[in-house]
Amino acid sequence: LVCVVVINDPSGAAYYGGLVSAPVFGRVVGGALRLMDIPPDNELLLADARSRAEEEEAAAEAVGEPTPP
């Protein structure tokens, strides 16, 4: 599977390749892999879930909300 994302003349403050084309690449390739019945890598999903949990915990602490144990 090969995928190339080319965006001509991106606008806005964020115009670097990783900021503009990476989300498009992720959605396109993610959809293609699902259509090909290729399961996601569990280690990456676990790391992503941990990262999200840490972000939510930090946001809750910043607001002063109690966090679950």
Task: Say what the pLDDT of residue 58 is.
Answer: 82
Q: Report the domain count for the chain.
A: 2
Q: How confident is the model at residue 3 (pLDDT cuts 50, 70, 90)?
A: very high
pLDDT in tens, 57-66: 888 777 665 6
Phi, psi at residue 19, to the nearest 5°? -80, -30
Over range 5-28, report the average pLDDT: 85
Query: Does 48 lie in the same domain as 31?
Result: no
51, 31: one domain: no
Task: Print the domain residue range for 20.
Answer: 1-38
Do 60 and 34 lie in one domain? The reply is no
Contact (Cβ atoms closer than 8 angstroms) between residue 21 and residue 5: yes
pTM (two decimals): 0.53
Q: Are 3 and 32 in contact (CB under 8 A)?
A: yes
